[in-house]
Structure 1
Amino acid sequence: MLALALVYFAAGRLGLSVATVGGNVSPMWPPSGVALAALVLLGPSRWPGVLLGGWAVTFSTGVPLPVSLGVAVGNMLTAVLGSLLLRRVGFDTRLGRIRDVVALCAGAGALCVGVSSLVGALSLVLGGVLGWEELGSSVWVWWVGDLMGVLVMAPPLLLLRQVGRPRRYGEATLVAGLTTVLGAGIFFLPGLDASASHAATFLLFPMSAWAALRFGAAGAAATSLAIASVAIAGTARGQGPFSSGSVTQDLLVLQLFIAVTSVTGLLLAAASDERKRAVEKLQLLATTVRGVHEGVLIAEVRAPGSLRTVFANEALQGLVGRSLGELTGQDPCVLYELEPELRQRVRAALLAGEPLCAEVLLSRKDGTSRWSEVLLSPVRATGEDVTHFVATHRDITATKELQARLVAAERVAAVGTLAAGVGHEINNPLAYLVLNLETAARSLSEGGLPGMRDALSGVRGALEGAERIRLIVKDLQVFSRQGDQDRGLVDLNALVPPAVRIVSHALRHRARVVEEFGPVPRVLGSEARLGQVLLNLLVNAMQSITEGSPTLNEVRVRTSTDESGRARVDVVDTGTGIPAHVLPRIFEPFFTTKPSGEGTGLGLAICQQIVRAHGGELEVRSEPGRGSVFSVLLPAAPVQVTSAPVRQPSSPPALPASRTRRGRVLVVDDEPRLAQSMRLLLEPYHDIVTTTRGGEALALVAAGHRFDVILCDLQMPEVDGATVYRRLCAQAPEQAERVVFISGGAYTAESRQFIETVPNRVLEKPVRPEVLMATVDNALVEGSALVEPEPVAAVGGSRH
C-alpha cells in the first residue's frame, strides 16, 4: 500500500504539471489509471494506498487538510467502485474480449470517474480554493483528465503481467520506432503548416491498428501510451496540430484524439483476439466432428421441408459408402429407407423445426443397408428461424441383429416352457389316429359289410386326429417365423386362438381360460411378432398362478377397441400380482423375480420392444394377491378390411367327386410316401405321374411330355422347387404356369422371398385332401388340355 501511495504521488505530480484550473485540476491525470489497475490486480482492499497517495499529492499543492482529504476520498471511491464493477461483470485483465474493453472504458472509465470529478471539484469549491463560477469547468476538466488516465494508463499496467518478449521482435521494434518518429515529427517539428499537421495525425491511426492486429491488446495499449505521451508533451509546450494558444482548450481537444486512438486500438485488438479464438474453436470443432466415431451430417434448410447437405464427416461417409462430394448438395433424406409413418414423422419434424430421434435404414452405395439411430437436431444460427439441421448417426446394425437373436431366443424359451404340453396335445390325437388306422386295417382284413363300416368309422376318426395335429403344427408355425418379413394386416381376433391353444394344456392345471372377442380394427404389423407378445403374456399369466385350484382361477383374453380407436388386447389373470416396488422394473431387460431356471428376464422387455416397434403401448395394472392386467394397445391400420368372425375348426368334409375332365398331373415330392398318397387320392380322376426329384421332372418336360398340373414340393435336395420353376420359365413357359407349389414351411430368406414374389399358388403342408382336389380341378378349368391324355411311364419304376 505504501508503494502504491508513492507511485500514485509521483503520477499525480506529473499530472499537476499541466494543471489548467487553479493549479489543482488537470486535463491529464495518470493516477486514476494507476489506482484502478492496482485495485483490480491487487484487490480493493488496497484502497488505503490510493487514499494516502491522493491526499499527499493534493496536500502538496498547499490545499487545506480537509479539502485534500475530500479530494483523496473522491479519487479513492472512483478506483474502488471501478474495480468492484469490473469484478462484478467478470472482467478479464487480458482485454481479449470486446466486453472487457467496453467495461473498462465505459464502466470503470466514463461512469465511475464522475464520482471523483464531482467530489473533488465540490471539495475545492467548499474549501474556498475555487470559486463557485469555476465548478462546472472544474468538473468537466477533472472528468476528462481522470478518463484519459483510465484509458491510457490502466491498459498497459493491467497487461504488464502478460507482456513478454514478442515473438516478432523485429516487427515490434519497427512499429515502436515508426510510431515514435511519426509522433515526434507531428508534435515537435517546428514550422509545420497547421493543415498539414492535422492531416499528419491521421497517420497515427494505422500505427495503432498495426500494433493492435499484430500484437493484440498489449501492442494497442503500448502504442496508445506512446502517442499520448508525445502528444501531451508537445501540446503542453504549444506545439503540434492541437495548439491554438489556450492550453486548457488545446488539452481538452487533444484528449478526444487520444480517447479515439486508445479505444479504437483496444477494440480492434479485442475483436481480432475474439476472431482468432472463434477460428480456433471452429477448427477444433471441425477436427472433433471429423474424428468422432458417430456419423455427423449437417444440412442446410433451403425451403420448408427441403434440405441440402453441406457437410458429412468421415464416419458418415464410411457408414453410407459415399464420398463427401457425392453427399454434398444432395437431399439427405434419399439415404433413408423410410416407412410411410416414419417418413411423415420426419417431414413433420422438419416443418416444425423440432428434434427427432428414430431408427432408420441407410442405403449404401453398394446396394446393402445399415441400421442407424439418427438424432435430428435443428440449428437456429441467425435467430428464431431454423437454418440448418444436424443429423447424428450411430450404427446399430449389430444391436439390431442382437435384438433379433434375443427375440428368437425368447420365442424358443416361451415355446420350450410349453414343450411338454404341446407334446401332450400332439400325442393325444396321434394316439387315436394310430388306433383308428389299426382298427380300419383289421376290419378290412376281416371283410364283409360290418368290417367295411368299422373301417370307414376308423378312417374318419383318423382324419379327425390328423386334422388336430395339422392345426397344432400350424399354430406352432405362426410363432416360429423369423423377423418382420410377413408385415401386413393382422387380425388380432384370429391371432388369439392359436396362442391360447398352444398354452391351454399347460394352463388347464392352474386356471380356466376365457376368450372374449369384441370388435377390433386390424393392425399393420408382423403376425409372428405380435403372436409372440400374446404367447409371452399368456405364459407370464400362467406362471403367476400356482397349480392345484383351476376352478378358482381364471386367465381371460379380451379384445376390444379403445376410445381413441386403437386395437386393444387385455390378458387378465387372477394370480399373485406384482408388488408395488417391483412394478416399475418389470420391463427392464434381465430383471426377474422368478427362481433360477424359470425365467430369463427378457420376456416382458421384448414384448414392450415389439409393441413399441409397432407404434403401440404395453400397459400393466396389478394388485398383489388379486392378479394383473396386461394391455396391448396398437394403432389401427390406415386401410381396414372386413374380417370374418373367428370360427372353431370343424371335422373335414367328405371328399367331392371331380367335376372336371380327366387331366394329366405330375407330382414332384422328395417324400415317396407323400407322393404315393397324392397319387392314390387323385388317380381315380386323373392320370398321375410321380417323381421324387426335381431334375427328373425337368427331364420329363425336356423329353416332350406335357402336363395339365404340376404339383411341386418347394424344399427338395439338389434341385428344389424354385429351381424347377425358373428352368421351366426358360425352357417351357407354358408348363411353368401350370405349377402349384406345396410347401412345408419357408425356413430361409430366399424361400420366403420366392413365395412372396411367385405368381403361382402355394399350398401349405399338410394339404387337406379336398383342398388338393379342388386346386387341381380349378387349374384344369382355368386352362385347356395341352395334349391328349395317354398313359405315361412314371419315374421310379411304377406305371399309372
Structure 2
Amino acid sequence: MAAVVRNRQLSSPVVTGVQVLAVAACYYAAARLGLLRQYVVDGAVFTPIWPPTGIAVAALLILGLRCWPGISLGALLAVLSITPLRPTVVGNVVGNTAAPICSYLLLRQVGFRNDLSRLRDGAALVFLGALASTLISATVGVGVIVLRGGLPAGDFWTVWPAWWVGDTMGVLIVTPLLLALHGARWPPRMSRWKEALGMILVACVLIPFATHSSLSVLFLVYPLLIWAALRFQLVGSMLCALFASVLATVAATDEVGPFAGLSHTELMFKLQAFNGGMALTALLLSSVITEQLNTRRSVEQACQELAEVLEHLTAGEPRRALPHEGEGEEGEGDGGGRQSPP
C-alpha cells in the first residue's frame, strides 16, 4: 500500500509536467498558425483571430490552474518568435497569461459547466470568458508597445480594438470547440453519418463560395450554422464556424471577394463583424438546443421511472371486485331464497 501511495506521489508531478509542456506546445503551435495571417497597424502586429487565447482558456477549464506555467512558456516562445528578447517581453507574457486565468476564475465563480449544456454557460463564456477577460491582454499588450516606443501614445485606441477583438475571437471560436471535443463520446455514434457527410460536402462548397465571391453573399453561411446546431449541436456548429472564420480571414488578408477594395479599417470591421456574428450564433444557438434536449430527456426519464413505480405498486395489490360484479352476486343469492310472485 505504501508503494502505491509513493508511486502516485511521484507520478503526480510527472503528469503535471507533461501537461504543462503539452499546453506550451499547443499554445506555441496555435500562435504560429495565427501569425500566418496578420495585420500591421502603426507598427503593431495583430491577428484577426488569436487561437492561443482560446487554447489557454480551454486548458485551464479542463486541467485546472496547475497548467498556467505552460501558458506562460508558450506565450514567451510565441513572443520571442516575432520580437527579440527585451524587458518588455515580460509584460506581454504576463498579459497573455493573466487574461486566461481571469477568464477561468470568472467562469468558475458563476458555476460554468464545460459541456455548455445551458444557455447561461454560453452567455458566461461570451461575456466573462471572452469579452471581459481579454481586456487585460489587449490593454497590457498595446501598452507595452507604447512604453517601448513602438507606437505613439495617440494611436493606442487605434490598435487596441483590433488586439482585443482578435483575442476575443480566439476564445469564442476555439474554446467551445475544444470543450465540446473533450466531452464528446469516442468513438462517435454513426447513426447520422449520411447527414454529416452531406453537411460536410455542402460546407466545402458553400463556405469557400461565400467568402471568396465578389457578390457579397456571406449571409449564406448562417443557414449552414443553424443546420449544424440543430442536428449536431456544439461540435457541428463550432466546426462550421471555425472553417468559415479561417476562410474569411484568408479572404480578408488577401483582400479578395467581399473584402476587396476596402480600407484597413473597413476590412477589419467587416471581418470581425462576420466572425463575431458567426461565433455568437453557433455558440448560443447550440447551447439553447442542448439545454432543450437535456430537459426533454430528463422529462422522459422521469415519466418512465414514474410508470415503473406505478407498475410495481399495482402488481402487488389484490384484484378488487367491480361494483356491478358485487351487485350481481347479491342478486343471485337473494333470488335463490325468494319465491317468484304469483
**TM-score w.r.t. length of structure 2:** 0.80
Q: CA deviation at 1:314?
A: 7.7
CA deviations on 1:489-514 (whole Å, 9 max, x unpaired) are xxxxxxxxxxxxxxxxxxxxxxxxxx
Q: CA deviation at 1:63?
A: 5.4
Alignment gaps of 5+ in structure 1? 296-312, 322-363, 369-722, 732-800
Question: Does the CA-based 8 Å contact 2:117-2:291 persist in structure 1?
Answer: yes
- Match of 2:193? 169
Change (3 A) 1:165 1:102: same
Which runs of structure 2 are paired with 1:583-622 in the superposition (5 Å)?
none
1:204 aligns with 2:225: no
Change (3 A) 1:286 1:29: same
Q: Identity over aligned residues, as a percent?
A: 33
Q: Which amino acid aligns with 1:28?
A: I
- Match of 2:209? 185
Which runs of structure 2 are paired with 1:614-633 in the superposition (5 Å)?
none
Q: Which amino acid aligns with 2:193?
A: Y
SS at match of 1:94: coil
Alignment gaps of 5+ in structure 2? 1-19, 327-336
- Match of 2:173? 152
Which runs of structure 2 are paired with 1:757-796 in the superposition (5 Å)?
none
- Match of 2:13? none
Which runs of structure 2 are paired with 1:734-773 in the superposition (5 Å)?
none
- Match of 2:8? none
Q: CA deviation at 1:140?
A: 1.1
Separation of aligned partners in 1, 2:307 and 2:177 = 41
SS at match of 2:296: helix
Question: Does the CA-based 8 Å contact 2:54-2:170 persist in structure 1?
Answer: yes
**TM-score w.r.t. length of structure 1:** 0.36
Separation of aligned partners in 1, 2:235 and 2:84 = 38
SS at match of 2:149: coil
- Match of 2:289? 272
1:12 aligns with 2:31: yes
Separation of aligned partners in 1, 2:98 and 2:257 = 35
Q: 1:137 aligns with which of 158, 161, 165?
A: 158
Separation of aligned partners in 2, 1:274 and 1:320 = 45
Q: Which amino acid aligns with 1:188?
A: H
Q: Which amino acid aligns with 1:222?
A: L
- Match of 1:356? none
- Match of 1:116? 137
- Match of 1:254? 271
- Match of 1:546? none
Question: Does the CA-based 8 Å contact 1:212-1:268 persist in structure 2?
Answer: yes
Q: Which amino acid aligns with 2:75?
A: G
Separation of aligned partners in 2, 1:64 and 1:50 = 18
Change (3 A) 1:49 1:252: farther
Change (3 A) 1:289 1:7: closer
Separation of aligned partners in 2, 1:320 and 1:106 = 62
Separation of aligned partners in 1, 2:140 and 2:219 = 36
Which runs of structure 2 are paired with 1:637-676 in the superposition (5 Å)?
none
Separation of aligned partners in 2, 1:288 and 1:366 = 34
Structure with the larger strand share: 1
Whose RCO is larger (CA < 8 A, sep 6+)?
A: 2
- Match of 2:60? 39
Question: Does the CA-based 8 Å contact 1:290-1:314 persist in structure 2?
Answer: no
- Match of 2:11? none
Q: Which amino acid aligns with 1:260?
A: G
Question: Does the CA-based 8 Å contact 1:121-1:139 persist in structure 2?
Answer: yes
- Match of 1:3? 22
CA deviations on 1:265-285 (whole Å, 9 max, x unpaired) are 222222222222222222222
Number of aligned residues: 305
Question: Does the CA-based 8 Å contact 2:23-2:71 persist in structure 1?
Answer: yes
Q: CA deviation at 1:159?
A: 2.1
Q: CA deviation at 1:76?
A: 0.3
Question: Does the CA-based 8 Å contact 2:27-2:52 persist in structure 1?
Answer: yes
Q: Which amino acid aligns with 2:291?
A: E
Q: CA deviation at 1:155?
A: 1.6
Question: Does the CA-based 8 Å contact 1:95-1:101 persist in structure 2?
Answer: yes
- Match of 2:109? 88
Separation of aligned partners in 1, 2:323 and 2:85 = 91
Q: Which amino acid aligns with 1:114?
A: L
Which runs of structure 2 are paired with 1:40-79 in the superposition (5 Å)?
40-62=61-83, 65-79=86-100
Change (3 A) 1:365 1:222: farther
Q: Which amino acid aligns with 2:72?
A: L
Q: CA deviation at 1:209?
A: 1.1
- Match of 2:7? none
- Match of 1:104? 125
RMSD of aligned Cα (Å)? 2.9
Separation of aligned partners in 1, 2:308 and 2:221 = 47
Separation of aligned partners in 1, 2:26 and 2:75 = 10
Greater mean alpha carbon deviation, residues 33-42 or residues 246-255: 246-255
Q: Which amino acid aligns with 1:9?
A: Y
Q: CA deviation at 1:58?
A: 2.1
- Match of 1:301? none
Separation of aligned partners in 2, 1:225 and 1:365 = 69
Q: Which amino acid aligns with 1:176?
A: I
Separation of aligned partners in 2, 1:25 and 1:67 = 17
- Match of 1:288? 305
Question: Does the CA-based 8 Å contact 1:27-1:252 persist in structure 2?
Answer: no
Separation of aligned partners in 1, 2:120 and 2:134 = 19
Q: CA deviation at 1:294?
A: 8.8
Q: CA deviation at 1:31?
A: 1.2
Question: Does the CA-based 8 Å contact 2:251-2:259 persist in structure 1?
Answer: no
Change (3 A) 1:320 1:79: farther
SS at match of 1:182: helix
Which runs of structure 2 are paired with 1:556-571 in the superposition (5 Å)?
none
SS at match of 1:20: strand
Question: Does the CA-based 8 Å contact 2:210-2:220 persist in structure 1?
Answer: no
Question: Does the CA-based 8 Å contact 2:44-2:145 persist in structure 1?
Answer: no
Separation of aligned partners in 1, 2:323 and 2:277 = 61
Which runs of structure 2 are paired with 1:62-461 in the superposition (5 Å)?
62=83, 65-161=86-182, 162=184, 164-167=187-190, 168-189=192-213, 192=214, 196-197=215-216, 200-293=217-310, 366=324
Separation of aligned partners in 2, 1:78 and 1:230 = 27
Q: Which amino acid aligns with 1:263?
A: L
Q: CA deviation at 1:286?
A: 2.0
Specify the structure having the higher radius of gyration (Cα). 1
